[in-house]
Amino acid sequence: MPKAQETVLEIDLNAVKHNLDYLKSKITSSTKFLAVVKAFAYGNDAEEIALYLQELNVDYFAVAYTSEGIHLRKAGVTKPILVLHPLPVSFKALIENCLEPNIYNHKVLSEFIEVATNEGQTNYPIHLKFNTGLNRLGFSISDLESIHSKIENTATVKIKSMFSHLAASEDLNERSFTLNQISTFKSIIENFESLFGFLPLIHMCNTSGILNYPEAHFDMVRSGIGLYGFGNSEEEDKNFKPIASLKSVISQIHHIEKGESVGYNRAFKSDAEQKTATIPIGHADGISRIYGNGKGYVIINGRKAPLVGNVCMDMIMVNVTGIDCEEGDEVIVFDADHTANDLAHNANTISYELITAVSQRVKRIVKK
């Protein structure tokens, strides 16, 4: 792509395909693949990426909230969409857009059946989530009989899948905990089949689960971060291609005298003559204040330039002393070579937080 002339997020769909192909190489041909495209496809572009993955014939999509699913439907996504955290206020809209809710407690189950009944639905697909150790959302094994009672007394809904979520599948030091989660889920599956007389679609693995726990692939796997280029370990990261490059430009260069300060609150005070560059990207674009005062950096003409002072809403300043650069030069915040993982680690956070924070006011450029 040509050099950036403004702040842009370049998205490489070829990298998406590479990541999908790698993940699918870890599962059998009969195992379904669910692509997680919540949070604007992890800060990228949900519409573009979902439509492209639909062309690549993924089996399912997942979003966090109903509004995200509606956006994808309006964009032309026709594949099934699982809403992971539906709220009762959106149930009618969810049904109107043929989205499929994750049902995680009795209140949500009862309220969804009521709304679906009022909307004249029959055999509407729902997904049951079971808590096996993440302790975030989900039924427990002790809820099975009451779930069965409610489902048996209505023709309004049908159980499309049952699933759980691994809490630490990327951390091999927690292998015994993860294996216990898998064992617990298998017990829930056995009890479900005994009680209901059938089994719906079964799924449990996230990206790290796909890579580390093939015994838990079941009927379908789910991947979010892997599709976007990260494998949750240094070794696995080598097998993925980050799909996004966040770039900007130098707006102005300043020569700072000893004792002068830079930015709000005079957070940086120079102890010698220095050269700084101002770049049009800030915390309103997704560069959190945690990256300020040297914890973050950008790449200019192949050199690291650490952030100087506090991150502003629309701008950052970086130290370019000793770097051959001028106003208008391209700035790389992260890309495939200088990854979001590396930058996030420098500020003691994770790539998920950095990439999902990229504001939608940042221009997206999609490479096909």
pLDDT in tens, 248-278: 999 999 999 999 999 999 999 999 999 999 9
Please give the backbone phi and psi of residue 63, each rounded to the nearest 5 degrees, phi first. -130, 170
pLDDT tier, 134 (very low <50, low <70, confident <90, very high otherwise): very high
45 and 147 within one domain: yes
| Distance (Å, whole) CA 211 – CA 306 | 34
Read out DSSP for 321-337? TT----TT-EEEEE-SS
User: What integer pLDDT is reported at residue 232 of this predicted model?
Assistant: 85
206 and 336 within one domain: no
Length of the chain: 368
| Distance (Å, whole) CA 300 – CA 69 | 38
Whether 25 is in a domain gets the answer no
The mean per-residue pLDDT over the stretch 331-356 comes to 95
Whether 1 has a pLDDT exceeding 80, the answer reads no
197 and 63 within one domain: yes
In DSSP terms, 317 is beta-bridged to 278, 308
Catalytically annotated residues: 38, 264
Strands (E), 147-243: 157-163, 201-203, 220-223
212 and 323 within one domain: no
Q: Strand, coil or helix: what is 177?
A: helix
22-46 pLDDT per residue, tens: 999 999 999 999 999 999 999 999 9
Q: Using alpha carbons, select from 260, 236, 217, 250 the residue that is nearest to residue 331.
A: 250
User: 15: which DSSP letter?
Assistant: H
| Distance (Å, whole) CA 156 – CA 54 | 29
Reported pTM: 0.96
Output the domain CATH number for residue 334. 2.40.37.10
User: What integer pLDDT is reported at residue 248 of this predicted model?
Assistant: 98
Assigned token pair, 168: 């630490």
273-309 pLDDT per residue, tens: 999 999 999 999 999 999 999 999 999 999 999 999 9
Whether 80 is in a domain gets the answer yes
Whether 26 is in a domain gets the answer no
Whether 14 is in a domain gets the answer no
User: What integer pLDDT is reported at residue 125 of this predicted model?
Assistant: 98
Q: Using alpha carbons, select from 85, 178, 172 the residue that is nearest to residue 127.
A: 85
67-106 pLDDT per residue, tens: 999 999 999 999 999 999 999 999 999 999 999 999 999 9
Whether 19 is in a domain gets the answer no
Q: Is the separation of the CB atoms in 65 and 39 below 8 Å?
A: no
Q: Using alpha carbons, select from 166, 171, 192 the residue that is nearest to residue 181.
A: 166
327 and 303 within one domain: yes
Read out DSSP for 67-119? HHHHHHHHHT--S-EEESS--GGGHHHHHHTT-EEEE-SHHHHHHHHHHHHHT
Whether 13 is in a domain gets the answer no
Q: Is the separation of the CB atoms in 247 and 4 below 8 Å?
A: yes
212 and 108 within one domain: yes
**% of the chain exceeding 90 in pLDDT:** 98
Assigned token pair, 368: 């096909």
Whether 2 has a pLDDT exceeding 90, the answer reads no
201 and 107 within one domain: yes
**Domains: count for the chain:** 2
Place of tokens 């994808």: 72
Q: Strand, coil or helix: what is 245?
A: strand
Output the domain CATH number for residue 143. 3.20.20.10
190 and 285 within one domain: no
Residue range of the domain that includes 360: 244-367
222 and 259 within one domain: no
168 and 97 within one domain: yes
User: 310: which DSSP letter?
Assistant: P
